[in-house]
Structure 1
């Protein structure tokens, strides 16, 4: 899958209202979940205790919702290459919904479209409508609008 190449605000603007792309699937093994638990100090049994999780509502451990969200930048970089930008700033997350838990050893991918983009005195504010999909599932793991600020070189 070829990356979308963006060299300017105008290149980005051409995708407004359109799907930009879909990433490859990424596996979510227990090690990744445990590392996220260590980093965030969230060791709740539903994520980290495989034996106890067997008796829980999903029959297996699930990834933290914020782990799933935090994969977005990595998956986004598989879809797009933005050139001529001095800096990218994560500006916000809007309308975030965790729709379905990601069970251990599932695979997820990102599907995104450019909801809007505007030029704010030389800074490009891009609002991406994202869906993180679970392989083999109809319901998405999460949906959100992600806001990035790109500082393009003039």
Structure 2
């Protein structure tokens, strides 16, 4: 699927209360989990020790850090919406965020996004986007929440 192209506040307004789409599925590997653990100094065995996780863990395998799944949002978001004519974008906030289900190693996830609201704040566009990270072949999403972006157009 081709990303939606948006280049102004007025173009954002057109999508209020609409689902914007879904990204491609993205596989979470043990290498990614280990690199995230190294970057954040979070080496808990449930993430980094496959043998122990299989024997003692509640999920039968290692799981991705919750914040790892959150950290891939920008990559997945760009597959849904391409914002053009942009001077700068700022991650402004996260609200009502819940990690609903663990993402086991080698699972495939995708982002689904719906534009809740958009406001023009004296030339800066505030976009509120409801998101969920779906796990392929699972009923419950990995997470749900509201992301808030600020877009400064040229």
TM-score w.r.t. the length of structure 1 is 0.98
- 2:4 and 2:40 map into 1 onto residues whose CA distance is 33
CA positional deviation for 1:140: 0.3
Q: Cα RMSD between the aligned structures? A: 0.5
- 1:58 and 1:3 map into 2 onto residues whose CA distance is 34
Task: Determine the structure 2 residue equivalent to 1:104.
Answer: 105
Q: Which runs of 4+ in 1 moved over 2 A?
A: none
Matched residue of 2:39: which SS? helix
Matched residue of 2:11: which SS? helix
Matched residue of 1:63: which SS? coil
Task: Determine the structure 2 residue equivalent to 1:145.
Answer: 146
TM-score w.r.t. the length of structure 2 is 0.98
Segments of 5+ residues of structure 1 without an aligned counterpart are none
Matched residue of 1:81: which SS? strand
CA positional deviation for 1:92: 0.8
Q: Deviations over 1:63-114 (max 9, x none)?
A: 0000001110000001111111100000011111000000000000000010
Matched residue of 1:138: which SS? coil
Segments of 5+ residues of structure 2 without an aligned counterpart are none
Task: Determine the structure 2 residue equivalent to 1:113.
Answer: 114
1:51 equivalenced with 2:51 (yes/no): yes
